[in-house]
Structure 1
């Protein structure tokens, strides 16, 4: 098995360090963790901003796939598929390495509104909203777009609350609220 090249090592280091230490992690720490020269960062990503953007692009794709897997494992019933998300969140926030929502943290840490990472996080939120809305349409919900907004708020609230109040069980509280939203006639 071959050793990952500098590009992959940088991506993995940035993925880990930006989640554990935040988007403000220094370039030197990233380079040291990846065991690469500064030149590799600029050759592959044009700088730290490009690296951060690519990390977010990759993690959003992985997280979207996780939503799809979770929902598929719950079967064909849209109600069960939507509620399965909150069961999965229970496991996610209970994990020993849970540090909150990577995308909220990125949006808060990257002050420049034109930073390319913001386009990635916005698209991710749109994609999750669309996924939720599609299930609500399948369910025959009377206001699927509004209900998707509400469910998305519960998901993001769960991730934020689990970060700031780790001894609570926000995913199960959110699931209870989600049931009300989903069951609205």
Structure 2
């Protein structure tokens, strides 16, 4: 059986996604089946637990983006567009509740909460991942286009939580196609 630290992390991962980061400490402790003392010993309190959950899930999600893009092959354009196909699958999952990071950013009113820094770094790494592919496409403005793709991703995850029947991933993919251009890797447009 996992120890108290692992049980707290798993409970917090599930409950903060299902109910938001405002979930009560008592609910976390009950779900993890641990004493309050374990929370403070391992994480220094709820803020430390939330920060560690954000750090762990960010690493998992970043790996999922990378895996999705690798599975799409060698063409940077297809690798970028595959993200939106994958997001379409993500938002169709029965337990999909939106973007964990957007939800946390909005709910963590204290701008000094360490979770904000974890989310900022995660978003920077996602941006860098997209920008590398855009550079491989010789996009004229790769950093700006990566900003736009992140905006589309955020939109898919937000709309997917409240209006999944509107197929936001498919719509965002069409916009992303325009953004990344119709040219294939290794060819140049006029």
Structure 1 unaligned regions, length at least 5? none
CA deviation string 1:89-146 (max 9, x = no partner): 0000000000000000000001000000000010111110000000000111111011
Residue of structure 1 equivalent to 2:98: 100
SS of the residue aligned with 1:167?
A: helix
The alignment's C-alpha RMSD in Å is 0.8
Residue of structure 2 equivalent to 1:47: 45
Structure 2 unaligned regions, length at least 5? 183-188
Q: TM-score normalized by structure 1? A: 0.97
> How far has the Cα of 1:167 moved from its partner?
1.7
Residue of structure 1 equivalent to 2:132: 134
Q: Specify which of 63, 66, 69 is matched with residue 67 of structure 2.
A: 69
SS of the residue aligned with 2:105?
A: helix
Q: Specify which of 116, 119, 129 is matched with residue 118 of structure 1.
A: 116
Distance in 2, matches of 1:150 and 1:24, equals 30
Residue of structure 2 equivalent to 1:4: 2
Residue of structure 1 equivalent to 2:107: 109
Q: TM-score normalized by structure 2? A: 0.95
Distance in 2, matches of 1:120 and 1:94, equals 27
CA deviation string 1:63-111 (max 9, x = no partner): 0000010000001100000000000000000000000000000000010
> How far has the Cα of 1:19 moved from its partner?
0.3
Residue of structure 2 equivalent to 1:162: 160
Count of matched residue pairs: 183
Residue of structure 1 equivalent to 2:179: 181
> How far has the Cα of 1:166 moved from its partner?
2.4
SS of the residue aligned with 2:74?
A: coil
Residue of structure 2 equivalent to 1:27: 25
Distance in 2, matches of 1:167 and 1:76, equals 32
Q: Answer yes or no: is 1:144 the counterpart of 2:133.
A: no
